[in-house]
């Protein structure tokens, strides 16, 4: 059965890790907005060239351009039986645009929106210890999810590093901004009956099991 999922949660909630686990379990593509953005820039697609023109002038990439990238990715053959979206939508305007895309491409809507919620202090502890893969963006944590070899990504062997925006002061600001900007999105999907609240304070394995159980998928 095809399933289209939007995974949401604050920075540090483990969204990227859970997206990878859930997408692999369901055998559907993990569509990360960040990865799509880099792909278009690196491959110099028409959308990527347009995005670069804004970035080079220090301007934000317009919503319609981001939406166009998401639409193109969702239109590929590997998404016909489902997909998991991570990092998009971020606003109600983007959620409404996604609804239009889903209707036009597949004559259906998003099936479920798991929302991983975590205590703020836990988010700060998680993010300040986070390590990110330089090549593929895979995420590890020096305490909770360490790589098999220190400083090396388990998946592609590239170097792991701590992002500048994982410093504590920046982390606190990011969390504040996230809740300010995303609260309307949470309400949007709650009102639509799509939101599934997941306790992200548990272990990685327990959170995965809870998400899959909520989606009626056995583990």
Catalytic one among 15, 73, 126, 194? 15
Say how many C-beta atoms besides its own lie within 10 A of residue 188's C-beta: 20
71 is an active site residue? no
Catalytic one among 76, 108, 143, 163? 163
- Of 102, 108, 116, the closest CA to residue 196 belongs to 116
Give 55's pLDDT tier (boundaries 50, 70, 90): confident
Angle between helices 168-191 and 92-106 (to 10 degrees): 50
Is 17 domain-assigned?
Answer: yes
Share of the chain above pLDDT 70, in %: 99
Is 23 domain-assigned?
Answer: yes
**pLDDT > 60? residue 38:** yes
For 3, phi then psi, to 5°, come to -140, 130
For residue 178, the model assigns a pLDDT of 87
**pLDDT > 60? residue 219:** no
From the CA atom positions of the chain, what is the Rg in Å? 17
For 5, phi then psi, to 5°, come to -125, 140
Helix H or strand E segment including 132: strand 130-133
CATH code where residue 92 lies = 3.40.50.300
52 is an active site residue? no
Give 71's pLDDT tier (boundaries 50, 70, 90): very high
Question: Which of 59-68, 175-184, 205-214: highest mean pLDDT?
Answer: 205-214
Give 217's pLDDT tier (boundaries 50, 70, 90): low
163 is an active site residue? yes
Whole-number Å distance between alpha carbons of 172 and 155: 29
Both tokens of 151, joined, read 């400083």
Is 61 domain-assigned?
Answer: yes
Catalytic one among 38, 90, 190, 202? 90
172 is an active site residue? no
Catalytic one among 71, 174, 190, 202? 174
How many folded domains does the chain comprise?
Answer: 1
**pLDDT > 70? residue 218:** no
Q: Which structural domain, as residue segments, surrounds residue 110?
A: 3-214
Give 110's pLDDT tier (boundaries 50, 70, 90): very high
| Cβ atoms of 174 and 130 closer than 8 Å | no
pLDDT mean over 93-113: 96
**pLDDT > 70? residue 32:** yes
Q: Which residues of 10-24 are buried (b: 16+ CB within 10 A; e: fewer)?
A: bbbbbbbbbbbbbbe
Is 175 domain-assigned?
Answer: yes
Is 41 domain-assigned?
Answer: yes
Is 219 domain-assigned?
Answer: no
Is 117 domain-assigned?
Answer: yes
76 is an active site residue? no
């Amino acid at each position: 059965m095809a399933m289209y999922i939007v995974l949401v949660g604050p920075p540090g909630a483990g969204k990227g890790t859970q997206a990878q686990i859930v997408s692999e379990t369901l055998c559907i593509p993990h569509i990360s907005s960040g990865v799509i953005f880099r792909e278009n820039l690196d491959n110099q697609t028409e959308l990527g060239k347009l995005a670069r023109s804004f970035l080079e002038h220090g301007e934000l990439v317009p919503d319609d351009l981001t939406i166009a990238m998401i639409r193109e990715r969702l239109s590929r053959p590997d998404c016909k039986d489902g997909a998991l979206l991570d990092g998009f939508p971020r606003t109600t305007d983007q959620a409404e645009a996604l609804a239009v895309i889903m209707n036009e491409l597949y004559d259906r809507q998003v099936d479920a929106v798991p929302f991983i919620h975590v205590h703020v202090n836990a988010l700060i502890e998680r993010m300040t210890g986070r390590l990110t893969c330089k090549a593929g963006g895979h995420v590890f944590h020096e305490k909770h999810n360490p790589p098999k070899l220190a400083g090396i990504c388990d998946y592609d062997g590239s170097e792991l590093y701590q992002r500048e925006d994982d410093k504590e002061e920046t982390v606190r600001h990011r969390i504040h901004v996230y809740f300010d900007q995303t609260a309307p999105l949470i309400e949007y999907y709650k009102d639509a009956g799509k939101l599934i609240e997941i306790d992200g304070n548990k272990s990685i394995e327990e959170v995965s099991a809870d998400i899959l159980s909520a989606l009626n998928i056995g583990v």
